[in-house]
Structure 1
Amino acid sequence: MELERMQRRRRFRRPVFSRLTWAWLSAFVITVTIGGFVIRDAMNGGGVARIALPVDEIETVARVAEVHRKNGPLATVPALRDGDSSAPAEETTDMLASGDAFGQDEDNSLTLIYPGLDDPFGDDEYSGDDYSGDEIVITITGNDKPAAQPQLASLGPMVQPIPDPDAALMRQTALGQIPKISPDGRKAVEYYAKPFDGGHSTPKIALIIGGLGLNSAITERAIDDLPPEVSLSFAPYAKDLEFWTEKARNAGHEVLIELPMEGYGGNQQALGAASLLTSRTPQENLQRMDWLMSRFGGYFAATNYMGAKISADEASIVPILKKLKEAGVGYVDDTGAAKQYAIGLGLPITTVTGIIPAAASEEDRSKVRRELAKLERIAEQDGRAVGKTYAYATTIDEIVEWSRRLEEKGLTAAPASALLQTSAVAR
């Protein structure tokens, strides 16, 4: 019996591995594990890929600082940050900017010129330049999961983000999704407005920075450096608008969409193919409104870019204002002409009381300071003031410094949405 038990134990004894065998097994397991991670990243789009995109399938806007004129030699577009306005006036019509295009008015003031684009509405005179399909190569990095945002300790107040676009507040048109009033009555003008405690009696000043999205460096500075109470307005012809406006909302800024509108004098083609003009029928302007309003979501209001002429033309401006009201969107007007029509329609509107100059250099900084001081006086007298400007580095620098001293002067920075009104007596 004893012999039989010993033979049985010997028969079922576990195999004995040598150290070399264990080393080989460990190496095999490690190799398989690393290989699995590599295969997973490859399947999920990780690593770096270079994708050549045909230009005729994407927007041909926000280009490099040197572009070809349609029928002439290479023209240099002025830079947004240095404010160079050396380009001849007759060339500004054909300039297609990388977010840096500014023209020069007769009074030597700098005027933002929207870049051209292929006209989605069939007007050949607004067509942009031709490009080959080999011009753009995009490098894509990372995988399909966004990196986690680092959580940093802050001694300042916590910023409350503006909500992301809500599908219930959007409707589909032939040219894209635009805002609408939701079935439960919610409106973009309220849903995407920055929360503001207006209970205190201190005078309020709202500032709007326009022309954003055309220059990535300036846009990022405006989002990161300006106080969240400053409202940010984005140009419709800029690219990556969903990215930039989401970044702005996450930083606590409420956002607006700019409507290129006909002013007095100048070449209206500089406003781009989607501009709103008195020479167009209301139906043609409203079709362009569908395209403009579909550029991105999450904005509480629209604002004019230029627009003094069309804003004073009742037959042209009233259909535009009606469309904004039906969409549940507010309006910020810097011409002073649209308010009489908007109030009659019950459209939430505020009128700009001061235009802050776009400072192209440190020498112009004193002009910004002077206009901000005027806004302070208006606010002290009327209890409210609304300023508007366009994105320049020096202008942003001065507004950042000015905002730090505002509270000690007995004034309150307010988002533009807090100063909207729907009746002639409202403040």
Structure 2
Amino acid sequence: MLDDLDRPLGQDRPPPPDPGLGGWRIGALALGLVGAVVGGVSLFSVGDRGAGGEPEAYAVIQPAPPAPPPAPPAPAAAPKDVADAASAFDVENGVKVVRGDAGGAEGYVIHVPGAESASALTPAPDERLVEKSRFGSLPRRGRDGAAPAAVYARPLSLQPAFKPGTPRVAILVAGMGLDRAATEDAIRRLPPEVSLAFAPYGAEAGRQAAEARAAGHEILLQAPMEPFNPADSPGPHVLRVGDAARAIEDLHWQMSRFAGYIGLVNFLGGRFTADQDATQALMKELADRGLDYVDDGSSPQSLAMEAALANGVGFAKADLRLDAARGPAAIDAALFRLETLARQNGVAIGFAAGLPEASDRIARFAADLKRDGVVLIPVSAALGAEALVSSDKR
């Protein structure tokens, strides 16, 4: 069907021959096209067509402008502690480690999907257990009596059930945070029942300590202490004898480097732990703050156990250095001796310096323990182990 433009004024007669457009019409049409393209204006002109006097319309049709690009989707709302944090790191399996203020304490907070159902490690720092200092946040006992040693330990719900008398092995791998690759390897490769100790000197100690806890490892602070040979001093802020106030100040610096540890283990410290006044002052500070202490067993002159018991500090001492001799065969032999000690005494604690070679052999050893009827436990579960052994034997 024809529309009104094809059949003007409803007349049926055919239009007369077109004599052609006049020059002014061509110019007007060209000008209209230019104007439509350049200025975006649609032109409409009306004139006579030929001698018949029939009105005629010319319209310049402007193409529709391109559709605007779709707006990007709105980001999902982030949790307040994540949104306000300075930075966040994705670890594995949806675990997120967030750096920022958590309950007024600077540090790293671990967000574990389904943590409530999985009974994961308690996020650190816990706002109840934080004290501000000029160095940063320090651990302390909560006003409700909560102690970092208990709150940050690997929960009993994550530990395997075993019958009384079952041999138990605890392994503490230290030196974490000093070598980035070795630390990440240990966190990834070692089973979560293995406890890890971080030195305060690592540039990324805070982040890596949080990653270790996200992977299920309870952690300790490996505190540098004065050795007998001054040439062996490991770095700044070493705990030294002779000035108790200065030693406590250096201890506070060490404690502020990261959060979430259950206690301390010595780094060297032959001279410091052999000094009664120094060890008493240290253990009193740990008791006040609710922290445990592990002796790495390197110094036969250490008074740490006596000082810890006198101040009510949870204490454990390593029975065996696992990587005193290098090489896979030597480490395997040490691990076999550790298992033998566990079978003899009920529980045994092994200590390693955190070299990749040792981590590899420990991981292999741990995979075979359950099959051999031995349970791997975190160091926190070996504190006060003498009482557990005695109860097993009754």
TM-score if structure 2 supplies the norm length?
A: 0.68
> Partner letter of residue 271 of structure 2?
K
Q: Distance in 2 between matches of 1:289 and 1:148?
A: 30
The whole-number CA distance in structure 1 between the counterparts of 2:366 and 2:325 is 17
Matched with 2:22 is none
Match of 1:175 among 124, 132, 135: 135
- One-letter amino acid of the counterpart of residue 269, structure 2: G
The whole-number CA distance in structure 2 between the counterparts of 1:359 and 1:227 is 23
Deviation at 1:18, TM superposition (A): 6.8
Query: Which of residues 372, 391, 410 in structure 1 aligns to 2:373?
Result: 410
Instruction: Quote the Cα distance in structure 1 between the aligned partners of 2:200 and 2:90.
Output: 28
Conserved? CA contact 1:257–1:303, under 8 Å:
yes
1:359/1:394 contact within 8 Å kept: no
Would you say 1:356 and 2:318 are equivalent positions? Answer: no
Report whether the alignment pairs 1:321 with 2:364. Answer: no
Is 1:244 matched up with 2:244? Answer: no
CA contact (8 A) 1:163 1:191 kept: no
Pair 1:297 & 2:259 matched: yes
Cα separation, 2, equivalents of 1:295 and 1:398: 30
SS class of match (2:228): coil
* Shift in alpha-carbon separation, 1:189–1:151, aligned structure 2, 3 A: closer
Please tell me whether residue 200 in structure 1 is matched to residue 163 in structure 2: yes
Tell me what 2:308 maps to: 342
Q: 1:321 offset after TM fit, Å?
A: 1.0
CA distance in 1, matches of 2:168, 2:265: 20
How far apart, in 2, do the equivalents of 1:374 and 1:149 lie? 35
1:358, distance to aligned residue in structure 2 (A): 5.8
CA deviation after TM superposition for structure 1 residue 359, in Å = 6.5
**Tell me, what secondary structure is at the counterpart of 1:301?**
strand
The change in CA–CA distance for 1:160 and 1:147 in structure 2 (over 3 A counts) is closer
1:149-189, Cα deviation, whole Å (9 max, x unpaired): 6459xxxxx68344321121011122221111001110010
Distance 1:413 1:391, change over 3 A: same
Q: Work out the number of aligned pairs and report it.
A: 291
Structure 2 match to 1:384: 347
Aligned to 1:286: 248
How far apart are 1:199 and its partner, in Å? 5.5
Counterparts of residues 21-420 of structure 1 (less than 5 Å): 21=64, 24-26=65-67, 29-30=68-69, 33=71, 150=93, 160-196=120-156, 197=159, 200-201=163-164, 202-268=166-232, 270-278=233-241, 280-335=242-297, 337=302, 338-357=304-323, 364-420=327-383
Q: 1:18 to 1:297 in 2, by over 3 A?
A: farther
Q: Is the 8 A contact 2:224 2:267 kept in 1?
A: yes
Check conservation: 1:236, 1:259, Cα contact below 8 A: yes
Look up the equivalent residue of 1:284 and give its one-letter code.
Answer: R
- Report the CA distance between 1:145 and its aligned residue: 6.8
TM-score by structure 1 length?
Answer: 0.63
Deviation track 1:268-295 (CA, whole Å, cap 9, x = no partner) reads: 5x321211122x3111101101101111
Q: What is the distance in 2 between the residues matched to 1:289 and 1:408?
A: 42
Alignment partners' CA distance in 2, 1:144 and 1:172: 21
Asked if structure 2 preserves the Cα contact closer than 8 Å seen for 1:206 and 1:386, the reply is yes
The 1-side partners of 2:372 and 2:162 are apart by 18
| Distance apart, 1:223 and its partner CA | 0.4
Q: 1:326 to 1:199 in 2, by over 3 A?
A: farther
The answer (yes or no) to whether the contact 1:204–1:385 under 8 Å persists in 2 is yes
> Following TM superposition, by how much is the alpha carbon of 1:426 offset from its aligned partner in structure 2, in angstroms?
5.7
Whether the 8 Å contact between 2:119 and 2:155 is mirrored in structure 1 is no
Equivalent AA in structure 2 for residue 216 of structure 1: R
> Once the two structures are superposed, what CA deviation does each residue of 1:166-220 show, in whole Å capped at 9, x if it has no partner?
1210111222211110011100100000023465321111101111111111100
SS of structure 2 residue aligned to 1:405: helix
d(CA) in 2 for partners of 1:25, 1:233:
62
Distance in 2 of aligned mates of 1:18 and 1:294 = 73
Higher-Rg structure is 2
Residue type of the alignment partner of 2:145:
G
Pick closer, same or farther for the CA change 1:397–1:261 going to 2, 3 Å. Answer: same
Is contact 2:91-2:211 (8 Å) kept?
no
Partner Cα separation in structure 2 for residue 150 and residue 206 of structure 1: 27
Could you tell me whether the CA contact under 8 Å between 1:159 and 1:251 is conserved in 2?
no
Structure 1, residues 228-272: CA drift from partner, whole Å, max 9, x if none?
Answer: 00000001111112210110011000000011112233515x321
Root-mean-square deviation (Å): 2.8
